[in-house]
Amino acid sequence: MMDQQSAAALFNQTGGPRFELIPANGIVERAIAALPSHATLTITCSPTNGIDATIDTSIALAPRFAQVIPHIAARMIRSEEHLITMLDRLAEHNVHEIFIVGGDQEKPLGPYHHGLELLQSLATHENGLHRIGIPAYPEGHPHIDTDTLNQDFAAKAPYAHYAVTQMCFDPGQVLAWLQEKRASGLQLPCYLGIPGPVKLDKLLRIAPRIGVTDSLRFLKKNLKLSRKLMRGYDPGALVNAYTPYLSESDFCIEGFHVYTFNELDTLKKEVGGV
């Protein structure tokens, strides 16, 4: 279980942490049982589950939690009409914030090939959205080169209200990335992505897809942290490493984004503040 200091740092941020869930059978009931009603949830989007599963799950959870934020994958939107229908459905259930990603769909299902095109489209008409988030990759992306990634992030930032960093075990690398972006003029607030309690074998399966291979190399050099992960990872060390920077305006850290991997029972047990 996290110590009191790290739990306080995690949960005492304005609005508290955000918990990322994956649409799956029973996830609505499990989330209601494991997480407090004042929590903020984000719901992922993948080709396996489909974007409609993301919307349906978000709508099902919305009445039970303070805020629910669906991930909208640009490449999975079938048409502009499909987009408008989704946003109308969300607005009817008081969901007015979305998180835009390009998506892992190999071939676009409709007119949007990447997140920037979707952001530009949304900026041209009324859509009922109050906030939009975008991803950030301090460790890079498995399928996008660094220069392209930086150009894409800079182009998307003016259309967004905040960014969320990929999961990373090396706080030094994330803080260095933040310093670099702030020095270049970026003012977008950032949520720092941290893993919730998760077993190493599960992390190893997903790491190549989410671009955290540098973090795995970092773990190999930090055997103490690796041993903790083998038993079930406690994010307390990461939270404590970031805590001194949370109140520094130069970093503009909005809070924490917890990648739960749907390990909600473990999360409730390990993180005493939930």
pLDDT of the residue at 7: 55
CA–CA dist 233, 252 (Å, integer): 27
Higher pLDDT residue, 109 or 266?
109
Closest CA to 103 of 127, 126, 134, 79: 134
Q: What is each CA distance from 173 to 34, 54, 179, 227, 257, in whole angstroms?
A: 32, 31, 10, 21, 17
SS3 194: strand
pLDDT over 60 at 180, yes or no: yes
Give the per-residue SS3 of 167-189. Answer: CCCCHHHHHHHHHHHHHCCCCCC
pLDDT of the residue at 163: 97
Strands (E), the chain: 18-21, 40-43, 67-73, 97-101, 131-136, 162-165, 190-195, 253-259
Q: What is each CA distance from 271 to 3, 93, 143, in whole angstroms?
A: 9, 30, 33
The pairing of strands 190-195 and 131-136 is unpaired
Average pLDDT over residues 137-144: 79
* Domain map (residue ranges) of the chain: 4-270
CB-CB contact of 133 with 160 (8 Å): yes
Tens digit of each residue's pLDDT (9 = 90 or more) over 51-63? 999 999 999 999 9
Average pLDDT over residues 76-90: 96
SS3 197: coil
pLDDT over 80 at 10, yes or no: no
pLDDT over 90 at 199, yes or no: no
pLDDT of the residue at 34: 92
Percent of the chain with pLDDT over 90: 54
Residue 190: beta bridge partners? 163, 253
Tens digit of each residue's pLDDT (9 = 90 or more) over 22-50? 998 999 999 999 999 999 999 999 888 89
| 106, two tokens | 């190999």
pLDDT band at 249 (very low <50, low <70, confident <90, very high): confident
The pairing of strands 190-195 and 18-21 is unpaired
Fold of 4-270: TIM Barrel (3.20.20)
pLDDT over 50 at 212, yes or no: no
